[in-house]
Amino acid sequence: MSSSTAIAPISSRTDLQPSGAANGSEEQYVTFTVGSEEYGVNILAVREIRGWTPESRLPNLPDYVRGVINLRGIIIPIFDLRARFGGGLTQVTKRHVVVVMQVGERTRGILVDAISDILAIGHDAIKPPPDVDSGLIDAEYLSGLYTAENRMVTLLNVGKLFAGEHVDQDATRAALEPT
């Protein structure tokens, strides 16, 4: 269990703006990589970042639901972001990282390759996602794009990313995605 690298308490930082603040105000994002892509989530949603610990599988769920882990006595589900975006299951190593997030009342973890940065991003600097075929990319999970030193960071809407975790949707996805 030595691999746990919590950066909490993030939420105690004082320079955070409430989301939905006026244009030009900055918000902080934690960015991480999955393969060659870089994603960002609002730092306010992130509870901690910890090293990979083996999960327990859950039966009859799409493969991006990797399973559950024990987070200090509570049981949280882990989602594989690569698999979520259709990139296949992540081959986990000890260097993989779980970003533990608070989404509403629930705590969930997403499995990513590595943490890359914490960026302060002004509201103006976020560009809307391009008009893409919604069948191709799950555009509803994207809250915008940001360019940082020639890298493109895809900002994720965490609430939407996990919004539809109910039976029907999972069943549909299970049917759509070859397992």
Partner 1 sequence: MDDLSRFKQTYFDESAELLAVAEAGLLRLAPGEIDMDEVNAIFRAVHSIKGGGGAFGFSDLVAFAHEFETVMDGVRNAEIPVTTELVDTLIRANDVLARLLSHAADETDVPAGTTDDTVAALRRFLDKAGEPPDEAPAAPPAPRPAAALYPDDEDDEAGIFGDALAAILAARDDQPAPAASGPGPVPEGKVRWTIVFRPKAELLLSGNEPTYMLRALRRLGEAEVVCHLDKLPSLRDLDAELLHLSWTVTLLADPQVDRARIDDVFEFVADDCDIRISAEAPPPAIIPPTIIPPAEPEPVPAANLPQPAAPAAAPVTPAATTSGAAKPGDGAKRTNGGTGGSDHAGPTTHTIRVDLDKIDRLVNMVGEMVITQAMIAEHLRDLPPGQFQELLEGLEGLAQHTRELRESVMSIRAQPVSSVFSRMPRLVRECAALTGKEVMLVTTGETTEVDKTVVENLVDPLTHMIRNSIDHGLEGPEERERIGKPRAGTVHLSAAHRSGRIVIEVTDDGRGINRAKVLSKAIEKGLVQPGASLSDEEIDNLIFLPGFSTADQVSNLSGRGVGMDVVRRNISSLGGRIGVYSTPGEGSRFVLSLPLTLAVLDGMVISVGEERFVLPLTNIVESLRPKPADLHGLVNKCDVMMARGEYVRLVHLHRLFGIPKAIDDATKGLVVLVETEDGSRLGLVVDEVLGQQQVVIKSLESNFRRLDGVAAATILGDGRVALILDVAGLREMSRHGAGNGNASGGSPPPSPSLPAPADKSDQRQRQTV
| Chain contacts with partner 1 (rule: CB under 8 A) | 1, 53-61, 67-70, 72-77, 105-108, 165-167, 170-171, 174
State which residue, 69 or 153, has the beta carbon closest to partner 1: 69
- Partners of 37 in beta bridges: 34
Q: Which is nearer to partner 1, 66 or 155 (CB)?
A: 66
Q: Which is nearer to partner 1, 76 or 110 (CB)?
A: 76
Nearer to partner 1, 47 or 82 (CB): 47
In the complex, the smallest distance separating the C-beta of residue 129 from partner 1, rounded to whole angstroms, is: 28
Residue written as token pair 């200090």: 72
Q: How far apart are CB 174 and partner 1 at their closest, in Å?
A: 7
Smallest distance, Å, CB 41 to partner 1? Answer: 17
